[in-house]
Amino acid sequence: MKISRTNGSLIAYPPFHKLNANAATEEPMSKVLIPSPPDLVQPAVVRGLGMAGHDVDVAWSMSPQEQRFKSRFCRSIHQVPSADQDREGYTDGVIELCRSQPYDLIMPTGERTLGCLLNHADKLPNALFPSSENFDMGMDKVRTFEMCAAHGFHHPGTHVIEDPFTLGKRAESLGFPVILKHQRNFGGSYGVRCVTSYKDLEHTTEELRSLSDEWTTILLQEWIPGPLLDVCVVAREGHIGCIATQARRLMYPISGGVAAVVETVEDPKLVHAAEAIIEALNWTGPVQLEFKWDSKAGEYALIEINPRFWGTTGAWLKAGLNFAATAAAFALGDDVRRTGPLPSGLRYIYLLGRYPYAQIQLMRAKGLSAIFDSRRFTRTWYDIDMSDIRPDLLRAYQELRRFYRGERSLKDTSLRPGQISAYVNAS
C-alpha cells in the first residue's frame, strides 16, 4: 500500500515495520537525488521517499566500506566531494551529476548542502527550497529576532556581545541563568551554552569563540524555563502540508541540546504560533521551529528557526507522518492534503549515542532515581529498525568513534545542583 501522488494523506502508509520489502523495486513515481551525508536525517529521508515509491540515489563522499551500509531504499551512491570540506567542488559535482542523470527531484537534507545548492536552483531538477532570504534569516539568529520584531512574534531578550564590559552589563540586566550562543545557526548544541553565574561568563564566551573561526559573534539570551518544544513542518508558499509538534523530554547535553527523548504534544496555541510564522514568511520547504512557553508573557517565544529537515524526521515516519514524501509531492507540483499533528503520548528514544549519554549525565547530576520516567506513553519507538538495519549499524560505528575520540561528554558542566530540576524532564 502506498499513497498516490495526487493525495497528500500520509496516514495511508503502512506501519514502517510492515512495509512491503518489494516496495523499492516497483515502478518509481520519480527519480530523486539526496546529495547529503549518511547522518541521522539522510537515511530517514531516503526511507520516506522509498516508502512512497520513489527511486532514490545518494550523492556524497563515502568510502567503499561506508557504501555497504546504504539503506535498502537507496538505488545507488554517487561520489561527490564533501560539502564540509570542498563547497565549490561539492556544488559543481552535484550540478554535473544532475546534468548526466535524469533526476526529477533533488532533496538536500542539511544546512551545508542546502546552502551550497540554494543559489543554483536553475541548474538543478525540481526542488523544494526556501527563498535565499528566508534561509539566511534562519541561519542567522540576529536576523531571526529582527524578523520577529518586524512581525510582532514573541522571542527571548537577546543581545550581541561586543566586549567583556557589555557582556557583564547585559547579563546582569537579564539575570541568571543566561544562554550564550553563536549568532550563526550551527545546529544541535554545538554553539550553545547555559551560564549560571557571573564568574563563568567570560571563559564560556571564549570557549564558544574558540570552537570555530567562522562563527565569532556571540549572543547573550534570556533563559526561559521549561521544555523545548518543536514544530516540524513541510510547507509550500506558506501552506502547510505536514506538521508535527513535539517536546524534548530529555536532551543531550541535559542542559539543552539535541533530543534524546521526544514526545508528541497536542497544543493548539503552539500550532497557531508556528502557522503564523510560516504564513508570514510565505515559507517553502522543510523547517523546524523551536519554541518555549513564556509564562510571564503568556505566549510562546520563538527560540530558533532551522531551515532544513530535522533529527526526528525518522521518528514520526514510523508513526505515519512522511515529511519527505510531502516535500516531494510539493516539489513536483502535486496536490497535498494537510496531515498531522500526531496525538499526544507518542515517544521516541535515540538509543544510538544520545540517550545513554544523557542518562549518565542525568544520573551524575541528580542521582540514580532521576533516570526513571514514571509517565505512561501510548507507544514508544527507537532509532533502530531491523527492517533497514544497515544505516543504523553505520551510525552506531560512527558514534563509537566519536566516543573514543573524546567528542562525547558524560558530564554536563553547564548545570549547577540548585538549578538542575529546571532543565530536565520539565513539563
pLDDT of residue 419: 43
> Does any domain span residue 183?
yes
| Contact predicate 97/78, CB 8 Å | yes
Taken in order 139, 356, 358, 274, the sign of the CA dihedral is: positive
User: Residue 315 pLDDT > 60, yes or no?
Assistant: yes
> Does any domain span residue 44?
yes
> Does any domain span residue 133?
no
pLDDT of residue 211: 64
Q: How many CA atoms lie within 13 A of 223 on its CB side?
A: 21
User: Cα–Cα distance between 122 and 116 in angstroms, integer?
Assistant: 13
Confidence of residue 262 (pLDDT cuts 50, 70, 90): very high
pLDDT of residue 85: 94
Confidence of residue 29 (pLDDT cuts 50, 70, 90): confident
**Which distant-in-sequence residues (6+ apart) come within 8 Å of 374 by Cβ?**
none
Total domain count for the chain? 3
pLDDT digits (tens, 9 = 90+) for 152-170: 999 999 988 877 667 878 8
> Does any domain span residue 132?
no
Same domain membership, residue 377 and residue 258: yes
By CB atoms closer than 10 A (0-12, 13-18, 19+), residue 165 is exposed
Same domain membership, residue 116 and residue 263: no
pLDDT of residue 356: 94
> Does any domain span residue 233?
yes
> Does any domain span residue 339?
yes
Of 222, 241, 266, the position where a domain reaches its end is: 222
User: Residue 417 pLDDT > 80, yes or no?
Assistant: no
Confidence of residue 415 (pLDDT cuts 50, 70, 90): low
Closest CA to 73 of 99, 42, 104, 95: 42
pLDDT of residue 28: 66
Same domain membership, residue 174 and residue 84: no
Here the cell at position 82 is: 564533501
User: What CATH number does the domain containing 233 carry?
Assistant: 3.30.470.20
pLDDT of residue 422: 37
Same domain membership, residue 91 and residue 25: yes
User: Cα–Cα distance between 138 and 233 in angstroms, integer?
Assistant: 14
> Does any domain span residue 405?
yes
Of 171, 198, 222, the position where a domain reaches its end is: 222
pTM score of the predicted model: 0.88
| Contact predicate 34/105, CB 8 Å | no
Same domain membership, residue 177 and residue 103: no
Same domain membership, residue 190 and residue 296: no
| Contact predicate 260/252, CB 8 Å | yes
Same domain membership, residue 233 and residue 208: no
> Does any domain span residue 152?
no
- CA-based angle 203:406:85, to the nearest 5? 85
pLDDT of residue 13: 33
User: Cα–Cα distance between 223 and 197 in angstroms, integer?
Assistant: 13
User: Residue 8 pLDDT > 50, yes or no?
Assistant: no
Same domain membership, residue 166 and residue 20: no
| CA 338 distance to own-chain centroid | 21
Domain hosting residue 283, numbered range: 229-422
User: What CATH number does the domain containing 57 carry?
Assistant: 3.40.50.20
Q: For a pLDDT cut of 90, what percent of the chain falls above it?
A: 68
Same domain membership, residue 386 and residue 363: yes
Here the cell at position 392 is: 543504523
User: Cα–Cα distance between 113 and 331 in angstroms, integer?
Assistant: 17
Same domain membership, residue 209 and residue 235: no
pLDDT of residue 418: 40
